[in-house]
A and B are shown apart, each in its own frame.
Chain A
């Protein structure tokens, strides 16, 4: 995933790339707003909650908000959040918006997507 993102960014002009790298390094200090959408307490949901909590504790201690939404109980949120698959973790802030679908077991992928891992 990280490779792909890199490849996409390559055509960007040099000046932008410098700015991008700067932003990338700064992002480590940014505040995170995360929403986890689950549908009932399925095994997938439980795993996803465990995983997201672990990642938050380990990588963004003190600078994250995590909201867990059960769309069984609040189905209108599914439309608002444009949710198709569950579990879905939505990174609302910082921009850009990212969605991680699945039980969040692939930690590396998530960390890269959350810009918590510097690309090599």
Chain B
């Protein structure tokens, strides 16, 4: 099956596509507009039809080497040149290079009278001539419906229009025909009847005083296409569509870890920090240090040489830089080095989709490693909760695709539950840090919890979050019989603990000294006894010696006496002495 598919593919006359060169549009159309066929672009006034058509031609001329013909029914060529000069398109230059031809077809009903049968061959010849002169591959007709107001006979017009589109197809040009939106139809005069290959609908909706532009491919014969409404943006670079909702859940997952900028926080996450490409959410009530955490993260990333993009919805760039100086972080140097870029905008400046598009554009331009959104809760001012959630999920999906680490802060109101984000996006986040004000003993301190951190071991401990001149620090909170203590209460308790432990230490030392003393005393006693014993022994030995002396003296006296008595018991006496000696030896 698969094999035959592969084989048959080149044989199949597949629909060729002409790239528009418009960012995003080629993605959702799967390569561009149907080649050699007309495409209808319709929408209300001021929704960007002319711009889309002109960009199609200009990109064709400049990027794809396909000259284009612009037939304008509404604006003079000089006006067009002026209008597009503001977008950086030099139409005159392109015209002089024969890459673009602009023809202003003007019908003034006042000076025209119908006097019999006619056809629109004049227009055909003009278009055909312009195409042949520069070898155009692309044609834009803007807005052909002007013919309906210029020419009275609608039935002739309709049959001629049908012929015109056939004529364009025969010419082999890829055409864009613009049409004004009708009440019930896509175009006021039902052009969609004739141009049925591809219909693109542009929309410009104002909701809560905020305008959002959207684009939708209504129909694309012979091709798969994105069917959603895609937000688009018209800015100084022209037209860009964001195919944001088309991103699926198949983004890569990096195992690389990046430092949080706060060493102790790294330690809480197994000593390594966040995963690259993950999404980090910091929630907390006002003034709990969310932006400071963001600044730390940015600072650490810039030190590693990564580029960072900071979307600030509350503060200006200068204000953030100044404020972060107070905790010892110099973000200004990174801005100067081009590593850090701020995008400051009030959420109500434009619609949510527009914000997303602007963010996309900025991200694409800078290609940052880290994106900070501070705070996401402010976007609520621009739209409803569901819209914000959808927008953020698309943003995060996109960032994950690009392996960009997202750092979002979220301001939670004090009234609601803390473990709940205003926009209900916590489930999208990989790592969730909660900063909480801890009130007690007449002061407010900041506590940091690591609510979740997907795919890594992380500490379950509450830490006290302290902002000092040297930056943010995390301290263990005091957990004891008196509950969780922070701030000066913690310091007080710590001092008390210190005093207690000191006392214990002193006690131990005292005991030890007592032992020493006792030992010394006993040793002194022992030595005294020893001395006494020595003395007594000496005395006894002296007495023994004395006795011995006396015994010997007695013996010798006895001997002398015996000698003197001429006794014959010498031998026995001697024998007895020998015996005594033997006994001595024993």
Contacts and interface: CB of A to CB of B under 8 A. Distances in A.
Contacts of B359: none
Contact of B118 (A51, A71, A97, A102): A102
B340 to A, nearest CB: 54
A101 B113 contact: yes
B180 to A, nearest CB: 19
Contact of B129 (A75, A97, A113): A75
Contacts of A28: none
Interface stretch (B102-110, B465-473, B544-552, B558-566): B102-110
Interface string A86-110: 1111000000111111111110011
Chain B contact surface mostly: mixed
Interface in A16-75: 37, 39-40, 44, 47-48, 51, 71-72, 75
B248 interface: no
Given A75-B128, A75-B129, A101-B151, A84 B120 contact: yes
Given A82-B105, A97-B111, A88 B122 contact: yes
A109 B125 contact: no
Contacts of A37: 122
A83 interface: yes
Contacts of B126: 75, 78-79, 83-84
B113 A83 contact: no
Contacts of A47: 116-117
Contacts of B117: 44, 47, 102-103, 105
Contacts of A84: 105, 107, 120, 122-123, 126, 147, 150-151
A102 B129 CA distance: 22
A44 B118 contact: yes
A72 B104 CA distance: 19
A6 interface: no
Given A78-B129, A84-B151, A98 B122 contact: no
Contacts of A39: 121-122, 125
Nearest to B103: A79
B256 interface: no
B60 to A, nearest CB: 21
Contact residue range for chain B? 20 to 34
A72 B150 CA distance: 23
Contacts of A101: 112-115, 118, 151
Counting chain A CB atoms within 10 Å of each CB, the highest count among B113, B114, B120 belongs to B113
A102 B151 CA distance: 11
B106 A105 contact: no
A37 B125 CA distance: 12
B125 A85 contact: no
A106 B119 contact: no
Contacts of B129: 75-76, 78-79
Interface string B71-115: 000000000000000000000000000000001111100011111
Interface string B110-146: 0111111111111101101110000000000000000
Given A75-B128, A76-B129, A85-B118, A109 B113 contact: yes
Contact of A106 (B106, B112, B115, B151): B115
B113 A82 contact: no
B115 A78 contact: no
A-B interface, 7 closest residue pairs, ranked by CB to CB distance from nearest: A102-B116, A75-B129, A83-B122, A103-B116, A105-B116, A39-B121, A102-B115
25 contacts: A37-B122, A39-B125, A47-B116, A78-B126, A78-B129, A79-B130, A83-B123, A83-B126, A84-B120, A84-B147, A85-B119, A85-B122, A88-B122, A97-B111, A98-B111, A99-B112, A99-B113, A100-B115, A101-B118, A102-B115, A103-B115, A103-B118, A105-B115, A105-B116, A110-B115
Interface of B: 103-107, 111-123, 125-126, 128-130, 147, 150-151
Given A39-B122, A76-B129, A88-B118, 16 more contacts: A44-B118, A47-B117, A78-B125, A79-B130, A82-B105, A84-B147, A85-B122, A86-B118, A86-B119, A86-B120, A98-B111, A99-B111, A102-B115, A102-B118, A104-B116, A105-B117
Interface of A: 1, 37, 39-40, 44, 47-48, 51, 71-72, 75-76, 78-79, 82-89, 96-106, 109-110, 113
